[in-house]
Structure 1
Amino acid sequence: MTAAAGAPELGLHTDLSNEAYHADKTSLSSSGARKLLPPSCPAKFRHEQDHPQPATKTFDYGNAAHKEVLGNGPELVLVDHDLWNTDAIRAEVAAIREAGGIPLKRHELDMIKAMGEALLSNPLAAALLDPASGAPEQSGFWLDGPTGIRRRVRFDWLPTGQSGRLIIPDYKTSDDASEDAFQRAVAKYGYNMQAAWYEEAAQVLGLGGDDTELLFIVQEKKPPYLVNVIGIDYFAREIGRAKNRAAIETFADCMETGVWTGYGDEPNYVSLPGWTENRDKETYL
């Protein structure tokens, strides 16, 4: 499919801004692919493209931590007031956001700094994000073989100048970085789809081979800011690959027809959740 005028060229971009990356509505990203599939739908995907969501504290903390840990991203700006409840302070905060920065209170900025220090104390995470052997926020664009649509990826961190197997780290903040909690997050947010997407992107862009793997660096947002490096097993990534393919086909169809479907025009029937059905049939049937 034809790219919009001014859309990034195919291939790897080492200095493309986050704004330019997200501005290309003719290409599909991993987060977009996940938004196309249930429990979401194409109509929600398209609405979010046309109506970007306002900043929230959750996103502010995540983006600020990315800046501190990866060394690239929006400027972190201290607004040194305990309460942001006057017109003057609100105007100051709005101006910072308008300029692309992230406004933070003193305790929030201290938290972000402490998270960065804690991450460096984890040997594996520090090695994966070693500035001497990698670079942050690199973007790639390529054409999907079966459909011809433009696909895109933005790596948190991409190792450079290394031989052998490519390991791609992806940094995430969380309230709970344990394996149990992250397993639930994989199911909720489709991180297995992200892993499969990024690994395929690296292969297509000529960065790594079939043994390329994405590892998540998950860090808690409360002291002691623990870090857990977590991978996703083969079968979960295979399911992610299959779901990615379904999302790509859906995107291609919507782009061709111009129809971004919602939940359908006919009644949709549901059953009880499995555990509820098993419990109630024993009791009442």
Structure 2
Amino acid sequence: MTTIAEPRAPEAPALGLHRDLSNEAYHADTTSLSSSGARKLLPPSTPAKFRYEQDHPQAPTKTFDYGNAAHKLVLGNGPELILVDHDTWNTKAAKAEVAEARARGGIPLKQHEIDMVKAMATAIRQHPLAAALLDPDHGAPEQSGFWLDGPTGIRRRVRFDWLPSIRSGRLIIPDYKTAADASNDAVQKDIAKYGYNQQAAWYEEAAQALDLGGPDTELLLIVQEKAAPYLVNVVGFDFFSREIGRAKNRVAIEKFAECTATGVWPGYGDEPNYLALPGWAENRDKEIYL
């Protein structure tokens, strides 16, 4: 097992809803557990990987840049988009401009990339349901919340992409994601791969814990493709996928509480792990060789 000293934020945000908390301050609170953190605690990842990523934030990548830039223009909040007007970025001058843009907290982009995210934002506004869910007259972006988990007492946190202003009826929370493929089949695979059903359960519980919505609160994904014509698919979760997500979240929360209390963040274990063949390989080979 790996034992790592537990870092502590100097001033953790107060419990409750924060409408103006910066993204940096939100992510700096390592005393609380987020939805993405909960997913990182569970297989195929490990608590050791979760702890390492908490202590060593990942450097920006182009994939994250595109997603963050699209969030900026679609949601109206986020880092500044900064044009680095060079055909290639491998020259000394271009590298200096990219470094300066990142030092300012911005997202460096080429002109065609800025054109792309602008077109994506336009396509969102032309999609009736997505545009209604992200109506700037009835909601606000990047709202953060902190609350205590009842069974364990740990701090949990959430950062809503968009939080609607409740007028009447139930609360529907949109969450915006970009993807290479927004078809039903592709999104279904992404839900399994990235644990979006866990995110849905987490955000819905957060809304209830923060007195924003009732038990009928629902999260919907707004998934948009990153290539023209920038198609949009609004996706919900069925009962069983959400319940599985809720159960996995509970295991992750209990694991976080245990690791926080002990200071031990295990990896793959200290003893041999005896593994069978994957089921498909065992079925194939036993018919031929046994």
Check whether TM > 0.5: yes
Equivalent residue in structure 1 for 2:215, among 210, 219, 233: 210
Q: Give the secondary-structure state (helix, strand or coil) at the position aligned to 2:281.
A: helix
2:239 pairs with 1:271? no
CA distance in 2, matches of 1:279, 1:118: 47
CA distance in 2, matches of 1:8, 1:146: 21
Q: Which amino acid aligns with 1:95?
A: E
- 1:12-27 aligned at under 5 Å gives the runs 12-27=17-32
- Name the counterpart of 1:257: 262
Q: Which amino acid aligns with 1:73?
A: G
Equivalent residue in structure 2 for 1:232, among 231, 237, 241: 237
CA distance in 2, matches of 1:269, 1:96: 49
CA distance in 1, matches of 2:259, 2:55: 15
Q: Which amino acid aligns with 2:126?
A: S
2:185 pairs with 1:175? no
Equivalenced residues, count: 283
Equivalent residue in structure 1 for 2:88, among 83, 86, 104: 83
- Name the counterpart of 1:93: 98
Query: Deviation of residue 48 (structure 1)?
Result: 0.5
- Name the counterpart of 1:33: 38
Gaps of 5+ in 1: none
Two-structure CA RMSD over aligned residues (Å)? 1.1
- Name the counterpart of 2:139: 134
Query: Deviation of residue 273 (structure 1)?
Result: 2.5
Query: Deviation of residue 167 (structure 1)?
Result: 0.4
- Name the counterpart of 1:10: 15
CA distance in 2, matches of 1:77, 1:4: 30
Query: Deviation of residue 140 (structure 1)?
Result: 0.2
Query: Deviation of residue 4 (structure 1)?
Result: 4.3
CA distance in 1, matches of 2:286, 2:128: 51
Q: Give the secondary-structure state (helix, strand or coil) at the position aligned to 2:65.
A: helix
CA distance in 2, matches of 1:231, 1:282: 41
Equivalent residue in structure 2 for 1:245, among 250, 257, 272: 250
Q: Under a length normalisation based on structure 1, what TM-score does the superposition of the two structures give?
A: 0.97
Greater CA drift, 161-170 or 50-59:
161-170
Q: Which amino acid aligns with 1:244?
A: N
Task: Tell whether the 8 Å contact from 2:178 to 2:223 is kept in structure 1 after alignment.
Answer: yes
Query: Deviation of residue 174 (structure 1)?
Result: 0.2
2:33 pairs with 1:62? no
Deviations, residues 138-193 of structure 1 (Å, cap 9, x unaligned)? 00000001111000000000001422111000000000001100111111111111
Equivalent residue in structure 1 for 2:200, among 195, 209, 213: 195
CA distance in 2, matches of 1:113, 1:223: 12
Q: Give the secondary-structure state (helix, strand or coil) at the position aligned to 2:268.
A: coil
Task: Tell whether the 8 Å contact from 2:35 to 2:202 is kept in structure 1 after alignment.
Answer: yes
Equivalent residue in structure 2 for 1:155, among 133, 137, 160: 160
Equivalent residue in structure 2 for 1:220, among 225, 230, 233: 225
Q: Which amino acid aligns with 1:146?
A: P
Q: Which amino acid aligns with 2:57?
A: P
Percent identity between the two aligned chains: 78
Q: Which amino acid aligns with 1:197?
A: W
CA distance in 2, matches of 1:184, 1:280: 27
Q: Which amino acid aligns with 1:270?
A: L
Q: Which amino acid aligns with 2:117?
A: I
Q: Which amino acid aligns with 2:217?
A: T
CA distance in 2, matches of 1:61, 1:184: 21
CA distance in 2, matches of 1:65, 1:54: 18
Q: Which amino acid aligns with 2:279?
A: G
Q: Give the secondary-structure state (helix, strand or coil) at the position aligned to 2:96.
A: helix
Q: Which amino acid aligns with 1:27?
A: S
Query: Deviation of residue 283 (structure 1)?
Result: 3.7
Query: Deviation of residue 91 (structure 1)?
Result: 1.0
